[in-house]
Structure 1
Amino acid sequence: MFTKNNKRVSLLRYWTSRYLITLCVGLVVIAIISALWIRHTTLENRLNMIQFMTEEMADRFVDMSEGRPIQREDNPGFLTDRDQFMNFEGDPSIYIIDPNGRILSSNRPRERTTISQFPLSILEKEETVQKLRFDQEAQPFYVVKTAISTQDILLGWVVIVESEQNLTQVNQEYRQLSIMIFSLALLGWAAIYFQSRRLSNPIKDVAKAAKQVQEGDYDIVLREDFKEQEVYELVHSFKEMSNRLQQLEALRTQLLAGVTHELKTPVTSISGLLQALNDDVVTGEDAKEFLAISLNETTKMKKMVEDLLDFNSFAANAVNVSMEIHSINELMLDFTRHWQVTQEDQNIELTLKNLDHDREVNVDPIRLQQIMTNLLNNAKQSIEGKGSIDVIVHENDHQISIYIKDSGSGIALEEQDLIFERFFRGEDKKYKVRGLGLGLPFSKMIAQSLGGDLHLKESSSAGTVFVITLPKQ
């Protein structure tokens, strides 16, 4: 059985090694192309220089001989001063040839000269530069010739012969090219190394912090002074996530304590009251009152358990929503009337402002009433003494908005971002009203299941405004 190699490498090593390989391959290709280009241009330049040299020598022959080629057994001086023309270390063969192809003079010593007759087939061709090869294995060589003539009379030729290897020999240029390629490779590697390290270090820090969070330690410290936008967003988002997880962990702890306390309190009360009834500590009207209190506590405990079950059902998408077409004005009128009837406290003034022109919405009326009842109850709990609650229905091109505004004490600024978190309860509310902190998260989930949403518009010491949005029919 084959096993997959899951060996991991560091980001710094991964990036630098692959970049270096890519860089080296690219530089090798560039070096080969550059070497071929240098070879080609060097060959052309040197052939042009040799041609210029033959023309210069032919002109000097004419000037010195007054129209007759010089026939000397030894080399004339201008056959050996090629260094002023040539810029390479080659040793070209220079010949002075008469019209019949006989070599009159050469820069080669007599003992090194193996030919006395130059092929007329080469001299009679029109090309001044010819590339020749004696056989398939021999190195190619170039022949550059210029006619010596005066008054349209051919007096001979100046011929220079040099091998292609000598003409293309540019060791110094190749050394410079090698140094440049090596320097570019070193510079490129250094650049990607430091850039990769600059990007990999914060990622390593985030990975280390993630392990720290995985172990349950949320007290992480990460730098945020990065100029790179993506790196900054990564680090900042991770810190925000860590803080949120820390808050959720605290909420989970509070949930356990809260659920224990909220369920223990009515159970303790019911147990004490029923024990008193069982022991005949109270009788008559007192016994009825104790029984009524026990039933009331039982109802509260039942409501908390139902909230937990309903919330879990919605979170698991296990509750169906029955969408129906209804008049929004009629629904709001029914909801507010029903809520007012069930209130014993008459210090709260509830007002409703419906749409001037009624609209139909596709909603589940029972679920929408759950949201309204929860928001109205929360508004009432935030008001101490007399106060008012305003329900305002508004519409725009795409949706219908229901504003629930109260004149209560408002929500603390540091708690406003947490009110839709499950099991969260504000510091002021947790000591006044029993509950599990599921009302607002549950209401938001219902609103979203209806195709709308629920959000906090504003909250201050002057009051709080929640908004339910529903899509228009």
Structure 2
Amino acid sequence: MFKKNKRISLLNYWTSRYLLTLFVGLAIISFISAAWIRHTTFQNRLEMMEFLADETVYRLTDTSGQNIGPMGSIPGFIGNRDRFTMREIDPILYVVDTEGNIVSSNRPAPPGSAKNVANLLDGEEGTKKITVTNEGQESVQYVVKKKLENNNKVVGWVLVLEKKENLTRVNQAYGQLALLIGALAVLGWCAIYSLSKRLAHPIKQVAEAAKQVQEGNYTFDLPQNNKEEEIYELVTSFKEMANKLEQLEKTRTELLAGVTHELKTPVTSISGLLQAVKDGVVRGQDASEFIQMALVETTKMKTMVGDLLAFNQFAVDAIPVKVENINVNQLIRDAVAQWEVMQDDETVKIQMDFLVKSVDVQADVVRTQQIVTNLLTNAKQAMQGGIVTITLMEKEDAVLINVSDTGRGIAQEEQAFIFERFYRGENKKYAVRGLGLGLSLSKMMAQSIGGDLRLIDSNSSGTCFEITLKKATTL
């Protein structure tokens, strides 16, 4: 047995993943920020220690201009020790002579400090990292060393020491960082939840509408005031698709009745005509006319059945096409001439505007003639006499053939469905017999030879179709 995948809502799915991404990003930012705060604090406190050392040297060299005397006569102490106490750190400050003996400090020196201090004197100023052992325990410290000079002679040193752990302690800053990161996480979650909900809502509405369409209900309401372009296009496209499906469903419902009616009518006529002849209701010349009428109805029924078979064969690509290079002017001229031969009246005039120069196209002669014949027949049915204009235009890689009439046009709401199989407009449904396969079959034929057929324009002044044929390739 296959385990069914558990589905979760779009809101939960994206919110959880957005939150995971947000938290990972904030964790990385927190780590980098903490490291940066630690490093910056460390550097700032080292600079404070250097300032303290410089300030001490300045005070001991007597700002009044009097140089300090011998080391043994440096007055009492550095002064008020509290003035050298810092808020963030409290380093130890030593004033030592050139031999490393502690002359004074800002607080009582720990046991063994004299030896450690003496080991720090190496004749160089600056900041140095050291390891200090005190009562068997080692600690990493930083020391800032500054010279005490008298008459350009070194008479002692100022040393400022502090443990590394004190220099890098930033508990308050970490707390502020944690508060900031937490606030960003909550704000991000609210934003993500709000945006995900806004995105999921119209999609959920479309999904619910799709279920209604699945059940055969095409009446639903979808808001079209979405500001997001993609959501708006989704909703609009779905509504258009639903409208088209509704129309196709109606067409499908009418299909059986239409085909039955169209095929039953000639069958009934044939049956009635032949029964009249058989029963002797008509005799002689009348009987011959009845038989001729039955043959005409048989031809009509044969044509409709042929259309059905041809459509099905084209729909499954079962009919091969013979594409050849042929002069497009001659191709259209022959197709129009063939159609005119089959007409029993001259109520429709054909006006043709050919290309000035000779251009060959890739086409199947028979299929192209069928397309032109169908368009001209439709134009004749749409007009009570008039002119059909055929205009050829050359493009870079194709030739466009426009077929325009001056008929009553196709209703705006019907134009999207005219190439659908078995679709027949209201104006044509009851006026002209047929199965509604002409335009859809013609479009299939055009596409089968690498071209196309499309509606350019239709209004109360007439209709224009465009046939596209690819130019012949030259070697």
TM-score normalized by structure 1? 0.89
Specify whether residues 4 and 152 from structure 1 end up closer, same or farther in structure 2 by C-alpha distance, changes over 3 A only: farther
In structure 2, the gaps of 5 or more residues are none
Q: What is the DSSP-based 3-state SS (H/G/I as helix, E as strand, rest coil) of the residue aligned with 1:267?
A: helix
Alignment of 1:47-196 (within 5 A): 47-63=46-62, 66-69=68-71, 77-83=79-85, 86-88=86-88, 90-109=89-108, 113-117=111-115, 119-134=117-132, 138-196=138-196
Give yes or no for contact 1:97–1:118 (8 Å, CA) kept in 2.
no
Report the Cα distance in structure 2 between the residues aligned to 1:431 and 1:371, rounded to whole angstroms.
23
Structure 2 CA distance for partners of 1:192 and 1:120, relative to 1, 3 Å: same
- Counterpart-to-counterpart distance in 1, 2:423 and 2:25: 60
Q: Which moved more, 1:99-108 or 1:158-167?
A: 99-108
1:426 aligns to 2:425 (yes or no): yes
Secondary structure of 2:322's aligned partner: coil
The 2-side partners of 1:257 and 1:391 are apart by 36
Q: Indicate if the aligned counterparts of 1:61 and 1:69 stay in contact, CA closer than 8 A.
A: no
After superposition, what is the alpha-carbon deviation per residue over 1:213-265, rounded to whole angstroms, capped at 9, x for unaligned? 22222222211212221221122111111111111111111222211221222
Alpha-carbon shift at residue 14 of structure 1 (Å): 2.3
Shift of 1:467: 2.8
SS in 2 for 1:274: helix
Deviations 1:96-138 (A, max 9, x none): 323332223334448x645555543312341332221135962
CA RMSD in angstroms, aligned pairs only: 2.8
Indicate the residue corresponding to 1:323 in structure 2. 323
Could you tell me how far 1:69 is from its partner in structure 2? 4.1
**Aligned equivalents of 1:66 and 1:55: distance in 2?**
16
Q: What SS does structure 1 have at the residue aligned with 2:256?
A: helix
Q: Does 1:347 align with 2:347?
A: yes
Q: Give the secondary structure class of the aligned counterpart of 1:280.
A: coil
Measure, in 2, the Cα distance between the counterparts of 1:98 and 1:466: 108
Work out whether residues 54 and 146 of structure 1, in 8 Å CA contact, stay in contact via their aligned partners in 2: yes
* Corresponding position of 2:402: 403
2:206 maps to which residue? 206
Partner SS state of residue 55, structure 1 = helix
**Alpha-carbon separation, structure 1, partners of 2:114 and 2:397:** 105
Q: CA deviation at 1:186?
A: 1.9
Amino acid at match of 2:169: Q
Amino acid of the structure 1 residue aligned with 2:132: F
1:396–1:132 distance in 2 versus 1, CA, 3 Å: closer
Aligned partner of residue 414 in structure 1, secondary structure: helix
Letter in 2 for 1:102: N
Question: Alpha carbons of 1:70 and 1:369: their partners in 2 closer, same or farther (altered >3 Å)?
Answer: same
Q: Go from structure 1 to structure 2 and tell me whether the alpha carbon gap of 1:365 and 1:119 turns closer, same or farther (over 3 Å shift).
A: closer
The structural deviation recorded for 1:316 is 0.8
SS of residue in 2 equivalent to 1:345:
coil
C-alpha contact 2:125 2:146 (8 A) present in aligned 1: no
- Structure 1 residue 75, shift from structure 2 partner: 6.0
**Residue in structure 1 matched with residue 247 of structure 2 by the alignment:** 247
| Conserved? CA contact 1:58–1:146, under 8 Å | yes
Paired letter, 2:28: V
Cα deviation, residue 208, structure 1: 1.9
Counterpart for residue 216 of structure 1: 216
Question: Measured at CA, do residues 128 and 255 of structure 1 come closer, stay the same or move farther in structure 2, by a change above 3 Å?
Answer: same
| Partner Cα distance (2:106, 2:130) in 1 | 21
Residues 297/126 of structure 1: CA separation in 2 closer, same or farther (3 Å cut): same
Deviation at 1:392, TM superposition (A): 4.0
Range that drifts further, 144-153 or 214-223: 144-153
Cα displacement (A) at 1:70: 6.3
- 8 Å CA contact 2:81–2:107 kept in 1: the answer is no
Amino acid of the structure 1 residue aligned with 2:347: N
Of stretches 447-456 and 398-407 in structure 1, the one that deviates more from structure 2 is 398-407
Report if aligned partners of 2:49, 2:144 keep a CA contact under 8 Å in 1.
yes
What is the rounded CA distance, in whole Å, between the counterparts of 1:22 and 1:130 in structure 2? 42
* Alignment-derived partner of residue 302 in structure 2: 302
Question: What is the CA deviation profile of residues 193-212 of structure 1, one whole-angstrom value per residue up to 9, with x for unaligned ones?
Answer: 22222222222222222222
* Offset of residue 395 of structure 1: 3.6
Task: Please tell me whether the aligned partners of residues 141 and 164 of structure 2 are also in contact (alpha carbons under 8 angstroms).
Answer: yes
- Alignment pair present for 1:259 and 2:256: no
Q: Percent identity?
A: 51
Match of 1:283 in 2: 283
Contact between 1:71 and 1:105, CA under 8 Å: does it hold in 2? no
- Structure 2 distance, partners of 1:220, 1:291, is 55
| Distance in 1 (alpha carbons) for counterparts of 2:79 and 2:37 | 33
Counterpart amino acid of residue 408 in structure 1: G
In the other structure, the counterpart of 1:45 is: 44
The number of equivalent residue pairs is 467
Separation of aligned partners in 1, 2:61 and 2:388? 120
How far off is 1:44 after superposition? 2.1
**Residue type at the aligned position of 1:405:** S
CA 1:251–1:58: 2 relative to 1, 3 Å: same
Q: Is the 8 A contact 1:79 1:94 kept in 2?
A: no
* Secondary structure at 1:344 match in 2: coil
Distance 1:66 1:347 in 2: 129
In the other structure, the counterpart of 2:22 is 23
* 344-353 vs 159-168, greater mean Cα deviation: 344-353
Match of 2:437 in 1: 438
Instruction: Write the distance in 2 (CA, Å) between the matches of 1:178 and 1:215.
Output: 54
Paired with 1:337 and 1:425, the residues of 2 have a C-alpha distance of: 27
Quick one: which amino acid aligns to residue 129 of structure 1? T
Tell me how far 1:323 sits from its aligned partner.
Answer: 2.0
Give the deviation of 1:140 after TM superposition. 0.5
Matched, 1:462 2:461: yes
Structure 1: unaligned runs, 5 residues or longer: none
Higher mean alpha-carbon deviation, 10-19 vs 148-157, is at 148-157
Q: Deviations over 1:253-283 (max 9, x none)?
A: 1222211221222222233333333433333
Normalising by structure 2, what TM-score?
Answer: 0.88
Residue 131 of structure 1 aligns with an amino acid whose one-letter code is: K
Deviation larger for 155-164 or 241-250: 155-164
